[in-house]
Amino acid sequence: MADRVLVVDDHATSRKKLSAAVKKLGFEVETADEGAAAIQLLRDHPVDAILLDIVMPVMDGFEVLAALKADTDLSDIPVIVVSAMEDDTASVVRAIELGAEDFLPKDFDPVILRARLSSSLEKKHNRDREREFRRHVDQLTSAAEELENGLFQPERLKIENVADRTDNLGRLARVFKGMAEEIYRRELKLRKNVRALRGSLLVLAVGASWGLLAPLSRMAASLDSQPLALAIWVNLIIAALCLASSAIRGKFQVPDMALLRFCLWWGILVGVLQQLALFWVTAHVQATTVSLIVTLEGFMVFAVAAALRLEKATMKRMIGLAFGLAGSALVILSRESLGSGDTWFWLLVAASVPFLFAVEDIFLASRRPDGTDIIHSTGIMATISCVITLVVALLAGAPVRIEGITTDLATIVFLIAVASALGTVLSFSVATIAGAVFASQAAYAIAIAGIIWSMLLLDESMSPLAWGALAFMMLGLYFVEPQSSSEDYEFRLPFVDRSRAGT
């Protein structure tokens, strides 16, 4: 692309003569008939060189030079003064002092014009290259500081234009960019694996805790305990344990309205509906069967989360959840106790338990207030649940005390409360870390733990077909991975010297 030259002269004849000569040399030409118009044109359409007349009305050449020197965006444009004052040495000196690059008489020789224009343009190009080089060095330095001091993302390096250079600086930028991106990819993979491992361990812990509830609830039902009374006392114990823990850890505080609203809906969902459904169902359905039905939670969460676009419905996740659903169907159909219509009714009612678990997973993953302490929130939730179940019991005329309580029943109620509190806290953690869909995979761990606890505590058993179906269902857990986290995309690199880091 040809260099652009601005010709500034108030005389039309001189302006046309200069323009013609410049065009003949192969340059593009812009013209202005006075100084102010030239300044405005330069601000709208910068050029590579200026041929400037000195003697002009309103704003002469000296004033134009002063204005150019005062403007940082225009001060580097080379100016060649073209004037009839070649014998006025003082004017020439003044023009040079004001920033003019060279001087050319009105009666110029085209050869001299070419030489002086070419020289001025070459100096400008050299200055531009030097300025660009310094700017690119600054970009590369800033990228290095970004790695050393800040949270790292490849996009934040912003050295693509430096990497496009063909010189040694470009080569350095390409190597630097490639190494940083490779380290980022490795760190990202490691963090994903660590989070998946953390999520999996939490899922197993959730399973071990929640898995106790079905056999313990069935044991409580066998001792003629009432569901509402059980819910009241279990929620009361959970509230006492969690709030006491919060106070000991210095996390206890008066909840604001946002946290109260969150805990109210959470309490209705978990402390009231979920617990009552579990207590009623386990009085009529074997604990192992309830544990297996809970595995439907994964499919329910995926369906709802995908419909609400809270989680990405990838093919891998769909395959994993299909495994879980197919396994759930097989383990349910493998039960030998499905002969009567009444059993089928209670199995359908039992499906409300995984549905409530699924709604809880989505609720925790999408509605939890920022900066919420899990244990403190669980204590508030259990307190609200206790009040609600107490009010319901009083309105329904149901007993609020557990009649005929024995040491065994008291122990069972306390263990249900501890398992519920632990399971709730861990469920909150896994939903926060890995997302609702991955959290729902705790249902598989709950099924296994529930079966094991039921065998140990209730002497229940499962057929070989059920065990095979459960193993098939567990393949689903392999295909469902945690949701993406902001930690995946922005983090400190492991080699950063924290003592020098700015943040």
Residues 197-251: tens digit of each pLDDT = 776 777 778 888 888 888 998 898 888 778 888 999 999 999 999 999 999 988 8
Residue 339 has pLDDT above 70, yes or no: no
- List the chain domain ranges: 4-128, 200-484
Residue 298 amino acid letter: G
Tell me if residue 158 falls in helix, strand or coil: coil
Single-letter amino acid code for the residue at 458: L
Residues 186 and 422: their CA atoms lie apart, in Å, by 34
Contact present, 409 and 220 (Cβ < 8 Å): yes
C-alpha separations of 399 from 163, 190, 229, 410 in Å: 76, 54, 6, 16
The average pLDDT across 391-396 equals: 90
Kindly indicate the confidence band of residue 502, based on its pLDDT and cuts at 50, 70 and 90: very low
Is a pLDDT exceeding 60 seen at residue 489? no
Q: Which string of DSSP letters, residue by residue, matches 377-433?
A: HHHHHHHHHHHHHHHHHHHHT--SS-TT--HHHHHHHHHHHHHHHHHHHHHHHHHHH
CA distance 32 to 12: 10
Per residue in 434-445, pLDDT (tens digit) is: 665 555 667 777
Instruction: Please list, in sequence order, all residues whose beta carbon lies within 8 angstroms of the beta carbon of residue 50, skipping any fewer than 6 positions away.
Output: 5, 6, 8, 38, 42, 68, 77, 78, 79, 80
Both tokens of 462, joined, read 């499962």
Contact 495, 187 (CB under 8 A): no
- Quickly name the fold that domain 4-128 has: Rossmann fold (3.40.50)
pLDDT score of 20: 93
Q: Who wins on pLDDT, 352 or 490?
A: 352
The most confident of the ranges 370-374, 492-496, 499-503 is 370-374
Q: How confident is the model at residue 79 (pLDDT cuts 50, 70, 90)?
A: very high
- Residue 414: which pLDDT band, with cuts at 50, 70 and 90? very high
**Cα-flanking dihedrals φ and ψ of residue 313, to 5°?**
-85, 75
In whole angstroms, what is the distance from residue 329 CA to residue 321 CA?
A: 12
Q: How confident is the model at residue 106 (pLDDT cuts 50, 70, 90)?
A: confident
Across 370-395, average pLDDT: 90
Which of 218, 199, 162 has the alpha carbon at shortest distance from 442? 199
Contact between 58 and 34 under an 8 Å Cβ cutoff? The reply is yes
Tell me which residue has tokens 């924290």.
Answer: 498
- With 70 as the cut, is the pLDDT of residue 150 above it? no
Sign of the torsion formed by the C-alpha atoms of 53, 54, 60 and 65: positive
Percent of the chain predicted with pLDDT > 90: 18
> How far is residue 110's CA from residue 82's CA, in Å, rounded to a whole number?
13
> Sorting pLDDT into bands at 50, 70 and 90, what band is 385?
very high
Which of 67-71, 117-121, 341-345 bottoms out in mean pLDDT, i.e. has the lowest? 341-345
Q: How many residues does the chain have?
A: 503
Query: From CA 252, how far away is CA 179, in angstroms rounded?
Result: 46
CA pair distance 79, 320, nearest whole angstrom? 72
Residue-level pLDDT at 342: 63
pLDDT of residue 503: 44
What pTM does this model have? 0.55
**What is the spatial distance between Cα 236 and Cα 251, in angstroms, rounded to a whole number?**
19
| The pLDDT value given to residue 499 | 47
Per-residue pLDDT, 270: 86
Least confident span in 160-174, 188-202, 268-282, 418-432? 188-202
Lookup: tokens for 291: 């544990």
Taking the alpha carbons of 376, 377, 382, 388 in that order, is the dihedral positive or negative?
positive
pLDDT in tens, 211-221: 888 899 889 88
Instruction: Tell me the average pLDDT of the chain.
Output: 80
Per-residue pLDDT, averaged over 284-295, amounts to 79
pLDDT(15) > 50:
yes
**HEC sequence for 219-247:** HHHHCCCCHHHHHHHHHHHHHHHHHHHHH
